[in-house]
Amino acid sequence: MELTHRPRRLRRTGPVRSLIRETELCPQHLIYPIFVTKGEHVRDPINTMPGQFRLSIDEVVQECEILLKLGVGAVNLFGYSPEKDETGKFAWDTEGLIPRCVRALKVVHPEVCVQTDVALDPYTTHGHDGLVFGGEIVNDETVEALCQMALCHAEAGADWIAPSDMMDGRVGAIREALDANGFANTGILAYSAKYASCFYGPFRGALGSAPKSDAAPKDKKTYQMDPANVREALKEVALDIEEGADVVMVKPALAYLDVIRAVREEFDVPVAAYNVSGEYAMVCAAAEKGWVEKDRALLEILFSIRRAGADMILSYFAKDAATLLREQYGKFA
């Protein structure tokens, strides 16, 4: 048979495949999400996320040392707060877990890119990211609270503030508050296109933050996006860029690879994607049953997110992936 094109010629050996590989994945592209809890020497296993822990501040500091050695230079911090109320005020307590953790990290590892989640859900009794008045998640009052939370994290030394709440206008308001208070160098990683997804289940288990009050909606559909939409994602991203976001995020990642691609093609800003807890848990569960090979699955997933167009990826697999990538570095595959 005489064929002009034989694409298989470029798949014959490891070195040839390496020459034509189109996408790169490095530990430096990854951001490790960490759950911070109180106490000392605490590594509290999260049962919905095998291999992940709620860590006390001293353990977070140690974890960062391991991450840096692996080539992962960024963490995203979430607070585990048993103290909750209707106002979410523990979210901007300067002696709260997150500000203390940021300060401790900055003393020992000043170069780590410390990102902090800004949303009220770990700190409210009803589990919503915003304030609830009369059964509704109110926007503008929430934005004021988020600005206080962002300032509290910036004062502690956070490099990037990461608002994950999906309130309207919060990026602009946070930018203004930061600038007015001398934090012009603090960046904003905006959760711009965040969908109302079932894949956050294990995370909500880890923080005890599932929406739970009778006086408020049981889901987050009035602020997080409908999974059926993509044009709306582009609008959200455009608004966040206009309001001053430094990096925009699509979340979750796997069921939204087309959204990542669309954002990448439409805008010239760095794009982040969040490989969320449910995506992590599914791989762990299938691997536990022997149905997929965990190491191959997690790299394949992270590659797909990079291929879709993400510059950086938040992933609970960051440590595993960095370890594997370092083992494989310089080898032909």
Q: Which residues bind ligand PBG (CB under 6 A)?
A: 117, 119, 121, 129, 164-165, 200, 203-204, 220, 276-277
| Least distance (Å) between residue 119 CB and ligand PBG | 3
| Least distance (Å) between residue 12 CB and ligand PBG | 40
| Least distance (Å) between residue 155 CB and ligand PBG | 21
When computed from its CA atoms, the radius of gyration of the chain, rounded to whole angstroms, is: 20
Beta partners for 43? 55
- Which CA distances in Å does 256 have to 67, 143, 251, 253, 285? 27, 27, 7, 5, 21
Q: Is 194 a known active-site residue?
A: yes
| Least distance (Å) between residue 3 CB and ligand PBG | 47
Which DSSP helix (H) or strand (E) runs through 271?
Answer: strand 271-275
| Burial degree of 294 (CB within 10 A; 0-12, 13-18, 19+) | middle
Q: For ligand PBG, give the closer residue by CB, 60 or 162.
A: 162
Q: Is 251 a known active-site residue?
A: yes
Q: For ligand PBG, give the closer residue by CB, 27 or 211.
A: 211
Q: For ligand PBG, give the closer residue by CB, 118 or 290.
A: 118
| Least distance (Å) between residue 108 CB and ligand PBG | 25
Q: Are strands 187-194 and 312-315 parallel, antiparallel or unpaired?
A: unpaired
Q: For ligand PBG, give the closer residue by CB, 109 or 210.
A: 210
Q: Are strands 53-55 and 43-45 parallel, antiparallel or unpaired?
A: antiparallel
Both tokens of residue 264?
């990448």
Both tokens of residue 254?
């796997």
Half-sphere exposure for 107 (CA within 13 Å, toward CB): 11
Q: How many residues does the chain have?
A: 333
Q: For ligand PBG, give the closer residue by CB, 126 or 204.
A: 204
| Least distance (Å) between residue 129 CB and ligand PBG | 5
Are 120 and 131 within 8 A, CB to CB? yes
Q: For ligand PBG, give the closer residue by CB, 170 or 306.
A: 170
CA distance 174 to 15: 49
Both tokens of residue 181?
């208070």
Both tokens of residue 311?
């510059």
| Least distance (Å) between residue 92 CB and ligand PBG | 15
CA distance 165 to 216: 16
Q: For ligand PBG, give the closer residue by CB, 1 or 87.
A: 87
Q: Are strands 43-45 and 30-36 parallel, antiparallel or unpaired?
A: unpaired
Catalytic residue among 84, 220, 251, 319: 251
Catalytic residue among 84, 194, 220, 319: 194
DSSP code per residue over 303-320: HHHHHHT-SEEEETTHHH
Angle at 273 between CA 54 and CA 212, to 5 degrees: 50
- Listed in sequence order, the DSSP H helices in 86-157 are 97-108, 139-156
Active-site residues: which are they?
194, 251
